[in-house]
Amino acid sequence: MPDLAGKTVIVRADLNVPIDDGRVTDATRLSAAVPTLATLADRGAKVLVLSHFGRPKPGDRSLSLAAIAPALSDVMGRPVGFVGECIGPEAEAAVAAMAPGSILVLENARFHAGEEGNAPDFVAALARLGDFYVNDAFSVSHRAHASTEGLAHVLPAFAGRSMQAELDALEKALGKPVKPVAAVVGGAKVSSKLDVLLHLVARVEHLMIGGAMANTFLVAKGVSVGKSLAEPGLADVALDILARAEKAGCTVHLPYEVVVAKEFATHAPHRLVNVFEVADDEMILDIGPAAVEAFADALKTCATCVWNGPMGAFEMAPFDAGTVALARVAAGLTASGQLLSVAGGGDTVAALNHAGVADDFTFVSTAGGAFLEWMEGRVLPGVAALERD
């Protein structure tokens, strides 16, 4: 990067953090922005932090980033200012008054329709504030918005530290991984991860399917799953995925031992059964210990693992046991140097935190939609804009 002393750098960060009663309840995304912001400020740049916050309706200014600036200041351990606009005279005056090495949060970019519309006039108004653009928000880079894609075409553009770490990890997980590769995929619906599964079967040696989406595959194979959440209408699609996997040399692992209950509730009466023993009034809520062991045995033969989604209803004890046990196996293999593990997606991060192993994975992405689209093999506009010549 060129000499930054006295220059103004616009950093697209992800400050879309949860707030309760005016206080930030999870500062993970703020912490992720610190290395880039601190480095730029320490090099004498005026640092402008650009972000969206929530989904404000036209004319609604209640979703302001004003409450986020003090929280970012606390995380950084240095002053962080705020200006109540992100374009126009007010923003331009605030930038002109900045001292080199200072940091300023701009108001919610989504207060302007031009942000999500990637409008050229809005992009131009943003660009007038800075000399350089840095995208440090992989989590929103699947959107071709003004602050995530448009600015990269009108200012010299670079990837931030967090963005680079994410891209490096993803490249090692599926771009150019050390083989064999395992993919652990869970969650509720096959329909929401259809493209993910189709993309993975051609790229991994082992595909382990858990969660309610495994039920759809079991139904496709003629197994009765009782009252379990499933998508019988996608049985043909599931069989097609299995056929493609076989043709590609990918082994698909489905749970053959499951935990069932008659009600969806914490500590509901439950029993451990073979998948062929699920009663008509029961639902599958977790994978059983034997299934965990079978998945773990396959995982132990692999060098790389990409993980998205829980193995069961992990929010409710005791139906969190399968997810926790398998996550701990992956974490242990990572700690011993046998496995490179990359995980992502909202429920996935929550599940790994619940298991107490998020810090033991090689990399855990906090990106939701962007991580899923990457797993689908899609081009992410915000990333592609940085890769242009």
Which residues are marked as active site?
Answer: 29, 189, 346, 369
Has 114 been labeled as part of a binding site?
no
Has 377 been labeled as part of a binding site?
no
Has 345 been labeled as part of a binding site?
yes
Has 346 been labeled as part of a binding site?
yes
Has 246 been labeled as part of a binding site?
no
Has 55 been labeled as part of a binding site?
yes
CA distance 30 to 77: 12
CB-CB neighbours of 297 under 10 Å: 11
- Residues ≥6 apart with Cβ < 8 Å to 288: 255, 257, 258, 259, 272, 273, 322
142 secondary structure, DSSP code:
T
Q: Decide: helix, strand or coil at residue 74.
A: helix
CA distance 277 to 257: 9
Has 288 been labeled as part of a binding site?
no
Nearest to 184, CA basis, from 337, 17, 355: 355
Q: By the 8 A CB rule, do 286 and 319 touch?
A: yes
Has 143 been labeled as part of a binding site?
yes
Has 161 been labeled as part of a binding site?
no
The 157-159 sheet, strands edge to edge: 81-83, 103-106, 46-50, 8-12, 132-135, 157-159
Nearest to 202, CA basis, from 168, 240, 235: 240
For residue 116 the two structure tokens come to: 């999500």
Q: By the 8 A CB rule, do 7 and 155 touch?
A: no
Has 14 been labeled as part of a binding site?
yes
- The Cα diameter of the chain in Å comes to 71
Query: In this structure, which long-range contacts are made by residues 19-25, counting pairs with CB atoms below 8 Å and at least 24 apart in sequence?
Result: 19/67, 19/68, 22/67, 23/67, 23/71, 24/67, 24/68, 24/71
Has 378 been labeled as part of a binding site?
no
CA distance 214 to 134: 40
Has 53 been labeled as part of a binding site?
yes
388 class by beta-carbon count within 10 Å (0-12 exposed, 13-18 middle, 19+ buried): exposed
CA distance 385 to 150: 8
- Residues ≥6 apart with Cβ < 8 Å to 162: 32, 33, 35, 36, 136, 137, 138
List the binding residues for substrate.
14-16, 29, 52-55, 110, 143
Task: Please report, in range form, the residues annotated as the binding site for ATP.
Answer: 193, 315, 345-348
In the annotated binding site, the residues are 14-16, 29, 52-55, 110, 143, 193, 315, 345-348
